């Protein structure tokens, strides 16, 4: 049986600057990523990696082409609809963590649940889910610390917990280990591998070949096109069968329900 695609794009294009100078940030990208895959996206600076991730992550819309997320044609949706899809389906991890600075780890992780429109969870239940997500990343004992009281690796783990709390179908990372030293980056990779082993679908941008090699498949972009799409050695293969009850609770998105955040996502809007 062919696994279901979580991501399917057809001739995706993104053109920036409609004036004299146009940049074809994405120039016809066709990609299919199946449930349970762990994929690395590589390529030189400016090749379109973040642009692709932002479209896949419903933070931005393509200029042309179609994108199906878990079977739904999301390229046809407006920004408000995209925000809802993003909140429900996607956990995004950024290079610079994007946590609210004066807000506790627990509260940061709760944000996607607070922005959730339907579902209206009671606060106690939000807290419970957020704590469970923090526990899953080994940070339950830091729940009441603010980001400045945490190390870079710990902050990224909070961001991962936030990316998990809504139980998304897809976890995306735009250089999630990019700001971390090698050892801390390796710890984050262990976490991402655990999520993958539990059946999650993960796509992450990295500049590091040794990190890409740990995934199942590497997609290389150049000038907005897919230059290479290879399976990586031994980790290639079967998606783990997946029991929904097994999923860690997760989420991200401090984006407001009515707007898509700027490219790169949620800024620091601490109160
Ligand atoms: N908001 C924008 N307006 C205009 N041009 C943009 C915008 N965002 C990206 N670009 C351009 O689109 C191209 C692709 O950018 P993108 O950020 O996707 O590259 P990248 O592969 O993520 O690079 P890096 O490795 O440096 O992060 C670049 O030429 C960039 O200058
Ligand atoms: Mg980038």
Cβ of 46 below 6 Å from ligand 1? yes
Left if phi > 0, otherwise alpha if psi is -120 to 50, otherwise beta: which for 138? left
Rounded to 5 degrees, what angle do the CA atoms 172, 258, 73 make?
55
Q: What does each C-alpha distance from 105 to 140, 234, 270 come to in angstroms?
A: 9, 37, 13
Q: Which domains does the chain have, with CATH numbers?
A: 36-53+79-246 (3.40.50.300)
**What angle, rounded to 10 degrees, do the helices at 152-164 and 182-197 form?**
20
Assign 59 to helix, strand or coil.
Answer: coil
If you ran DSSP here, which 8-state letter would residue 116 be given? -
Q: What is the mean pLDDT of the chain?
A: 86
Cβ of 45 below 6 Å from ligand 1? yes
What are the strands, taking DSSP E only, across 20-83? 23-34, 38-42, 64-69, 72-73
Nearest ligand 1 atom to the CA of 263 is 1
pLDDT tens figures, 150-200:
999 999 999 999 999 998 999 999 999 999 999 999 999 999 999 999 999
pLDDT tens figures, 32-52:
999 999 999 999 999 999 999
Cβ of 47 below 6 Å from ligand 1? yes
Backbone phi, then psi, for 36, in 5-degree steps? 90, 0
Ligand 1 pocket: which of 43, 49, 54, 61 to mutate (most atoms within 8 A of CB): 49
């Amino acid at each position: 049986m062919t696994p279901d695609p979580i991501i399917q794009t057809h001739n995706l294009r993104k053109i920036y600057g409609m004036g004299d100078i146009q940049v074809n940030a994405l120039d016809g990208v066709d990609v299919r990523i199946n449930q349970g895959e762990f994929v690395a996206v590589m390529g030189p600076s400016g090749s379109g990696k973040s642009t692709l991730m932002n479209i896949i992550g419903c933070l931005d819309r393509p200029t042309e082409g179609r994108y199906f997320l878990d079977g739904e044609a999301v390229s046809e949706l407006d920004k408000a609809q995209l925000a809802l899809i993003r909140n429900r389906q996607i956990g995004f991890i950024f290079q610079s963590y994007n946590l609210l600075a004066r807000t506790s780890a627990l509260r940061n992780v709760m944000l996607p649940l607070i922005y959730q429109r339907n579902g209206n969870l009671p606060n106690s239940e939000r807290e419970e889910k957020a704590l469970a997500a923090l526990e899953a990343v080994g940070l339950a004992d830091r729940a009441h610390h603010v980001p400045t009281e945490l190390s870079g690796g710990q902050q990224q783990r909070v961001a991962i917990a936030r990316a998990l709390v809504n139980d998304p179908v897809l976890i995306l990372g735009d250089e999630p280990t990019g700001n971390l030293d090698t050892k801390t980056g390796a710890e984050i990779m262990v976490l991402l591998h655990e999520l993958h082993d539990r059946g999650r679908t993960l796509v992450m941008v990295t500049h590091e070949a040794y990190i890409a090699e740990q995934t199942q498949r590497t997609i290389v972009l150049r000038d907005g096109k897919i230059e290479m799409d290879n399976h990586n050695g031994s980790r290639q293969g079967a998606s783990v069968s997946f029991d929904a009850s097994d999923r860690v609770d997760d989420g991200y998105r401090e984006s407001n329900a009515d707007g898509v955040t700027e490219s790169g996502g949620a800024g620091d809007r601490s109160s």
